[in-house]
Amino acid sequence: MTTVCEYKPGLEGIPVAQSSISYVDGQKGILEYRGIRIEELAAKSTFLETAYLLIWGNLPTKEELDNFENEIRYHRRIKYRIRDMMKCFPETGHPMDALQASAAALGLFYSKRALDNPDYIREAVVRLLAKIPTMVAAFKLMRKGNDPVQPNDDLDYAANFLYMLNERKPDPLAAKVLDICLTLHAEHTMNASTFSAMVTASTLTDPYAVVASAVGTLAGPLHGGANEEVIDMLEEIGSIENVRSYIDDCLKYKKKIMGFGHRVYKVKDPRATILQDLAEQMFEKFGHDKYYDIALELERVVEEKLGHRGIYANVDFYSGLVYRKLEIPTDLFTPIFAIARVAGWLAHWKEQLAENRIFRPTQIYTGFHDEPYIEITER
Ligand code: CMC
């Protein structure tokens, strides 16, 4: 029997999986990972503990967490062949493209594909979580002709990433703030990059290909790439006085205002609220950023004009302002999103493998039938 389904562009509202990893209530502005509110995890957990929770489904004991952190610490280094490959990437290339290529290259070096072996699964999880930040930081330095900084085993996950990136030990508040940012971005139910990871996973390919395909999907401006565009937009607006006319022009010419709107949230994204608070903590310690004043006015006017349509600030609106204070270049904002989201992608990869069926949707054909072939001389 054939069931005729309604075609929904963008699969809006169509469930593509059953999942117990995370939950969003877009009307109430609630996000939970494995049932725990994001506010609680941001306040009490760490990124690696949260990654463990997402991937294995429960909070680790102290011993489990210590082992997980130590394994990741041990695997942070990347092979010199991967570094040499990255050295050949053009310095003008986008770091997301560099990351996608490098993530895929990991599959060349760790090619065993034992998807029914829990040790292989754990090893792949550890390697990806450990090496992706090292690759992002390495490309940042190598594109300027500098040698990458080796990971520092005395530093925890976020602090080590900032150390490799900025070539000095970070301030503890900066490291803590980045760790919370990673927790906030670690997972977000069914979205474009996670779906892409799951489709790739469903073919039973290796996890490096799964992550590489998700990185490619995250790169687009309607998904992870929006955080970079928010900063470009704030710079273009330039002053509080220009905010209203900028928004009026966007509405007149049907141009999206970056960092606003969400397929699921119809209120302010709870992650935007936490990120705004983190931005304020950073400004208090490291100095104000005039673009924050522009952002506040922008949020106020967008709410006034578009709030009734459920368009509010999303996760990307304040993250860029935090990253600027962490001295992170704008084109690394999306790779940092990827570093965090690797946890969510791997959780979905593991869940997909547990009950795998290859994705093979259908289509509604709108083309011709029985057309004649016209000889090239007669076209
Ligand atoms: N600025 C102005 N109008 C907007 C915006 C916005 N940011 N977002 C949605 N709208 C309008 C849109 O023009 C459309 O109006 P109309 O019905 O008159 O044509 C209506 O709202 C529905 O928009 P849509 O694009 O069909 O909604 P969607 O659910 O498919 O899109 C979205 C969600 C995130 C792609 C969209 O809101 C958007 O493009 N926002 C800007 C980019 C952005 O901030 N992306 C980050 C998303 S959150 C993190 C992530 O997913 O990675």
Pair 185, 230 in one domain: no
Pair 320, 272 in one domain: yes
Pair 91, 136 in one domain: yes
Count: domains in the chain: 2
Q: CATH number of the domain that 264 lies in?
A: 1.10.230.10
Pair 127, 65 in one domain: yes
CA angle 309, 264, 334 (to 5 degrees): 110
Alpha-carbon Rg of the chain, whole angstroms?
Answer: 22
Pair 189, 264 in one domain: no
Average pLDDT over the chain, rounded to an integer: 95
Q: What is the mean pLDDT of residues 295-314?
A: 97
Pair 54, 183 in one domain: yes
Q: What's the confidence (pLDDT) of residue 4?
A: 58
With the most atoms of ligand 1 within 8 angstroms of its CB, the residue from 222, 252, 267 to mutate is: 222
Ligand 1 atom closest to residue 309's alpha carbon, by position in its atom list = 21
In a domain, 6, yes or no: no
Pair 313, 199 in one domain: no
In a domain, 9, yes or no: no
In a domain, 242, yes or no: yes
In a domain, 173, yes or no: yes
**Dihedral sign from CA coordinates of 264, 266, 272, 274:** negative
In a domain, 211, yes or no: yes
Q: What's the confidence (pLDDT) of residue 223?
A: 84
| Residue closest by Cα to atom 19 of ligand 1 | 254
Structure confidence by residue, pLDDT tens digits, 344-357: 999 999 999 999 99
Q: What's the confidence (pLDDT) of residue 166?
A: 95
Pair 336, 320 in one domain: no
Pair 71, 148 in one domain: yes
| Single residue among 283, 304, 325 that ends a domain in this structure | 325
Q: CATH number of the domain that 104 lies in?
A: 1.10.580.10
In a domain, 131, yes or no: yes
Which pTM was predicted?
0.94
Q: What's the confidence (pLDDT) of residue 211?
A: 98
For the Cβ of 222 lying below 6 angstroms from any atom of ligand 1, the answer is yes
Ligand 1 atom closest to residue 191's alpha carbon, by position in its atom list = 51
Pair 153, 204 in one domain: yes
Pair 150, 195 in one domain: yes
Q: What's the confidence (pLDDT) of residue 169?
A: 97
Q: Which domain holds residue 111?
A: 19-221+332-354
For the Cβ of 124 lying below 6 angstroms from any atom of ligand 1, the answer is no
pLDDT at 85 over 90: yes
Structure confidence by residue, pLDDT tens digits, 94-148: 999 999 999 999 999 997 789 999 999 999 999 999 999 999 999 999 999 999 9
For the Cβ of 349 lying below 6 angstroms from any atom of ligand 1, the answer is no
Which residues form the catalytic set? 262, 316
In a domain, 45, yes or no: yes
Q: Which residues of 226-251 are buried (b: 16+ CB within 10 A; e: fewer)?
A: bbbbbbebbeebeeeeebbebbeebe
Q: Shortest CA distance to 312 belongs to which of 320, 321, 303? A: 303
pLDDT at 1 over 80: no
Q: What is the mean pLDDT of residues 2-12?
A: 80
For the Cβ of 260 lying below 6 angstroms from any atom of ligand 1, the answer is yes
Q: What's the confidence (pLDDT) of residue 112?
A: 77
For the ranges 107-121, 145-159, 170-184, 356-370, which has the lowest average pLDDT?
107-121
For the Cβ of 256 lying below 6 angstroms from any atom of ligand 1, the answer is yes
In a domain, 343, yes or no: yes
